[in-house]
């Protein structure tokens, strides 16, 4: 049986009927959101914020704990797709305390957060230092050259340096579409390795051949992507 406004006004501040909680709300006429109280987490909506506000008014601690668990169930049902997220219930309890302004006194299955916990600034991340002078060759190619500089000067090192130099030429052409002199690549190898690796006399692939390899590689990547789309459509 549905109650009218007069009947609801005669109820106490909280009333349980068939596990449904009614919270008394004064009739203030038309209200704008700017006139209402602050919502700490707007994603949960105004009704959830009212439930939290009601929970703060409950004097009996046992009943207050029951109300808190009921609120957790409600906000959990609002986002069922997130239930597989690790520590999902822990996050819900943190949200409950945030919406209460950290004033809610209930027994939580998790450590009770404080306002300072969320207001503290995160530690600054230390970014790795990178040599921006030769960034167009790529970090991997530069790192490989430094490793090669530690090897003995033999035919194996010459073969590795030749492969790296051709890759550097390909990376350079990704930045400069026109052309690049082989002497520039070989000179940069000496600079990157502090003169340890002497690449003079190495013959690199022609620009046209490098561009053809890049074009063939791009076409293969497009073909793989198209095959994935066809597979997903099935």
* Residue 94 near residue 141, CB atoms below 8 Å: no
**pLDDT average, residue stretch 206-229:** 60
- Domain boundaries along the sequence of the chain: 5-119, 132-213
Given its phi and psi angles, is residue 171 left (phi above 0), alpha (psi -120 to 50 degrees) or beta?
alpha
Per-residue pLDDT, 116: 84
User: What is the SS3 assignment for 189-226?
Assistant: HHHHCCCCCCCCCCCCCCHHHHHHHHHHHHHHHHHHHH
Per-residue pLDDT, 110: 93
CA angle, residues 150, 151, 155, in degrees to nearest 5: 150
**pLDDT average, residue stretch 94-111:** 93
Higher-scoring residue by pLDDT: 144, 230: 144
Q: Read off the tokens for 170.
A: 């390909």
């Amino acid at each position: 049986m549905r109650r009218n406004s007069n009947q609801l006004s005669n109820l106490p501040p909280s009333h349980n009927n068939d596990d449904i909680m009614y919270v008394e709300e004064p009739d203030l006429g038309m209200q704008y959101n700017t006139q209402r109280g602050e919502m700490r987490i707007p994603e949960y909506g105004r009704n959830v914020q009212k439930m939290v506000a009601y929970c703060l008014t409950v004097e009996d601690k046992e009943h207050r704990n029951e109300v808190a668990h009921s609120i957790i169930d409600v906000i959990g049902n609002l986002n069922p797709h997130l239930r597989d997220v690790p520590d999902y219930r822990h996050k819900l309890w943190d949200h409950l305390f945030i919406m209460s302004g950290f004033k809610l006194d209930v027994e939580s299955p998790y450590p009770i957060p404080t306002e300072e916990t969320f207001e503290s600034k995160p530690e600054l991340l230390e970014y790795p230092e990178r040599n921006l002078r030769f960034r167009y060759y790529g970090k991997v190619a530069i790192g490989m050259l430094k490793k090669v500089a530690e090897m003995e000067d033999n035919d194996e090192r010459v073969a590795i340096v030749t492969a790296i130099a051709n890759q550097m030429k390909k990376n350079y052409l990704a930045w400069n579409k026109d052309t690049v002199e082989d002497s520039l690549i070989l000179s940069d190898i000496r600079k990157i390795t502090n003169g340890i690796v002497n690449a003079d006399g190495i013959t690199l692939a022609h620009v046209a051949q490098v561009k053809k390899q890049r074009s063939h590689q791009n076409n293969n990547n497009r073909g793989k992507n198209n095959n994935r789309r066809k597979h997903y459509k099935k």
